[in-house]
């Protein structure tokens, strides 16, 4: 089997081709945002423990959010700026039976996702619940925003006849429910007396 060597530059576009590609597919060559999440469980009387930590998918809806925020106030008839501020996190179980424990993040999200799989997600939003905890400049070529998302001990604990709720997916959404990013994860069982804190960082 033939392997391409990094010393062989023939597979790279030349300068003219690069300019053409950039003119035709500028978005594909622009810096792309990505993110990662850390989920911590707080049980009463115990030390917090890490439930899950991983990178996440930033979906195509993020492009719409960024475009609307950049153009706000300069196009007649455009939606209110607040409609596109990322202001909440939704949690769901991918429409699986509440008692089924999922041990992996599969199937992982795709950039084309526009909502959670769960038809009845639990939403975390509002003061003290969905907070921008930091805006950083981690390197010369990057900026990041970290959200701290808190599902308190008395929230999201039951569904139907069950006194617990099994979560396996979450997503960042704007005020008008445009999804910015989505993450799947192994089952997190939420019940009374248990708090969940998520740190969700988006890097540009």
What are the tens digits of pLDDT across the range 164-195? 999 999 999 999 999 999 999 999 999 999 99
**Taking 70 as the threshold, does the pLDDT of residue 8 lie above it?**
no
Residue 100: predicted pLDDT: 87
Of 72-76, 77-81, 122-126, which range is least confident? 72-76
Which tens digit of pLDDT belongs to each residue from 92-120? 999 888 888 999 888 889 999 999 999 99
Which tens digit of pLDDT belongs to each residue from 20-62? 554 554 444 445 788 889 999 999 888 999 999 998 889 999 9
First and final C-alpha spacing in the chain: 38
């Amino acid at each position: 089997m033939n392997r391409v060597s990094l010393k062989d530059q023939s597979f790279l576009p030349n300068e003219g081709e690069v300019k053409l590609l950039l003119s035709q597919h500028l978005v594909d060559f622009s810096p792309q945002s990505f993110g990662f999440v850390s989920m911590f469980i707080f049980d009463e009387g115990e030390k917090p423990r890490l439930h899950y930590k991983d990178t996440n998918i930033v979906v195509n809806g993020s492009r719409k959010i960024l475009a609307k925020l950049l153009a706000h106030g300069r196009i007649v008839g455009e939606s209110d700026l607040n409609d596109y501020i990322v202001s909440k996190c939704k949690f769901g179980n991918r429409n699986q039976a509440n008692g089924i424990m999922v041990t992996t993040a599969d199937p992982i999200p795709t950039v084309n996702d526009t909502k959670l799989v769960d038809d009845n997600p639990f939403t975390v939003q509002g003061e003290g619940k969905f907070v921008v905890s930091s805006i950083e400049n981690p390197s010369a070529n990057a900026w990041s925003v970290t959200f701290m998302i808190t599902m308190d001990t008395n929230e999201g604990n039951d569904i139907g006849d069950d006194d617990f709720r099994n979560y396996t997916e979450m997503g960042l959404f704007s005020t008008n429910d445009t999804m910015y990013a989505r993450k799947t994860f192994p089952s997190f069982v939420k019940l009374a007396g248990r708090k969940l804190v998520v740190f969700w960082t988006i890097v540009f």
